[in-house]
Structure 1
């Protein structure tokens, strides 16, 4: 089973940071920064590592909500079993537009109207609900199951 983390970085105005997924010979598509969980890591440790790889030394603060997409049994036809967790981080500096922050690689900032499309690209159902609930404060702290 593959263990994967996704990092959702939100700006002070509620936009989501997306990184370019550079597939050689193809147009880049915008996705959440992600990575595999190493054998010796927890999901949260892997998320912090992925975050640091993406944003270098940009000051962020971690949220207390964790979206979980549990592995499906049996695995869908043509796919490996995958368990994914989404960790939410906020930019600590609210005075500077997020476009001026030091990212490694190309970054795009997506508003809530683009979050549903993101759910499809990342195969993370209910991502828009998770982010909206987090920003509006009606999702409780702790792990939240995404999708069926």
Structure 2
């Protein structure tokens, strides 16, 4: 979370990010064909931002866009890692419990 907070501050000027109580993770198997043939993990955190913060990020970087859950679902095949749309929709809609959720 410290690394994510530092990244958000450096890239977007978000100095006090509010992390969601749900986060996703993907753990590869040791036999997966990765560059170093080792187990890797990826974590996906949900950060709450205000409308003003979202607008500031959008102005700062034209490649960033604000999407609602309907937009995410419509473009789910373009979004990585696999499972992030379901994680985000479940969090926003309130049907995923707090804690870690596997994205495998």
Q: Into which bin does the TM-score normalised by the smaller protein fall? A: 0.7 to 0.9
- Aligned equivalents of 1:97 and 1:57: distance in 2? 8
Task: Please state whether the residue corresponding to 1:69 is helix, strand or coil.
Answer: strand
- Aligned equivalents of 1:72 and 1:60: distance in 2? 31
TM-score, normalised by the number of residues in structure 2:
0.73
TM-score, normalised by the number of residues in structure 1:
0.54
Q: Quickly say closer, same or farther: Cα 1:60–1:138, change in 2 above 3 A.
A: same
**Quick check: 1:117 aligned with 2:77?**
yes
Number of positions where the alignment pairs a residue of Structure 1 with one of Structure 2: 96
Partner of 1:146: 103
1:9-20 correspondence runs (5 A): none
**Quick check: 1:86 aligned with 2:44?**
yes
Give 5+ residue unaligned stretches, structure 2.
none
Give 5+ residue unaligned stretches, structure 1.
1-43
Q: CA RMSD in A?
A: 2.4
- Aligned equivalents of 2:57 and 2:11: distance in 1? 9
Partner of 1:23: none
Q: Quickly say closer, same or farther: Cα 1:55–1:84, change in 2 above 3 A.
A: same
The structure carrying a bigger helix percent of its residues is 2
